[in-house]
Amino acid sequence: MISATARRGTATATALVCLLAVPAHAAPEPAAAAAKALPSPDLPGLHGVLLTALRQGAPGAMARVDDHGTTLRTAVGIADRKSLRPLSNTDRFRIGSVTKIFSAVVLLQLADERKLKLDAPVNRYLPGLLPDGRITVRHVLSHRSGLYDYTNDMFARTVPGFEAVRSKVFTFRQLVDRSLRKPRTTRPGGAYSYSNTNFVVAGMLIKKLTGNSVRTEYQNRIIEPLKLRDTFYVHPRTKIPGRHARGYLTPDTAGAALVDATRQTASWAQSAGAVISTTRDLNTFLSALLGGRLMSATQLAQMQRWVPAGSTQAYGLGLRRRNLSCGVSVYGHTGAVQGFYTYAFASRDGRRSLAALTNTSNNGAVLNTMLGSLESAFCGKPAKPRRGSAVVERYEDIAPGVALKLG
């Protein structure tokens, strides 16, 4: 074990690097992909990304890379601003929209079981739910339904919006109804338009087709088979169980004190963003997914039918593809929930995976900085912003139609 410490205010930031043997979950790469090996991860560069996030206002930041049986960990800053306890990769946290991959996996497994057809209308399974019968399951999972994202209105004012829903419990139908009050953003099957409403509908489909809660289906289909010992869906309970990082929400007003947003129902998100996990479990999950352990090859291919979603990324079915500066593409999802930003991505074969977290949100500078963790983990060098380039990430997975505070 190698450790280094850096001081930020009264808090001590600790970096830990551990090399551990862990079982590989992924199937072998195709020959063409295997011929071009990924560069070795740049751990000092990754550590530097986290330190930059601290300077930009994050109380803490951490990352874990699992690579062909080797594990690299680094963590800086604090998990709790009161106790000043250092952040650790063993801490649990809210993963936000990385939850969408869990929901998509369940539905694709149901497609394998012939209980669901991706190109069937949603209204076939949920009669009368949507006003346009042309919206299919595939449209929902790829954010091409045109359903308005209700979080744009819910969190137009960041802290007041959060406090208004922190302890509320919504039904899926109540959240969909909030969306349907607004015009749709595109025709069914049109351009990608990110909306949390889509994955609330996904949760409704899971419940209708299985007769069980999304918690039960996540547990039986993903958490237990993969032995994810730190992954939970506790909605509507407000507490993160066990040892966890506290999450701090950045107010819209510059210089205002951070708001501890750790305890909440996360009912505004549910199947779109309410799972709790750790960096270890997220890497295990993505390795299993991309290694073909969670669904048939046919459905995994469906998951990776990409539509454009910006200049450097595409979207499949609940899965993002990001194209990095070194020509490598990585697969996973970002996650934003009040107090936490998550990046969880893996190589195409799942053999290298990264999970990175900062325990703050609504801070565009931190969000952009953490994108550099992918460059360090998969390209072998820290991200180097191009001179005069535009902000890489202007919006987040909460209220995507509302501009972020850029820090």
C-alpha separations of 71 from 48, 62, 239, 342, 353 in Å:
18, 14, 29, 18, 10
Helix, strand, coil share (%) of the chain residues, nearest 5 = 30, 20, 50
> Considering only CA atoms, which of 407, 73, 32 is closest in space to residue 254?
407
CA distance 335 to 333: 7
Query: How far is Cα of residue 407 from the mean position of the Cα atoms in its chain?
Result: 21
Contacts of 377 (CB under 8 A, 6+ apart): 41, 42, 46, 63, 65, 345, 352, 354, 356
* Cα dist from 265 to 21, 176, 181, whole Å: 37, 18, 24
Distance CA 386, CA 338 (A): 30
Query: How far is the first Cα of the chain from the last one, in angstroms, to the nearest whole number?
Result: 35
Helix axes 99-112, 279-290, angle to 10 degrees: 30
d(CA 250, CA 158): 8
The set of catalytic residues is 97
- Tokens 């954010």, residue located: 143
Please identify which residue in the block is written with the tokens 């194209």: 323
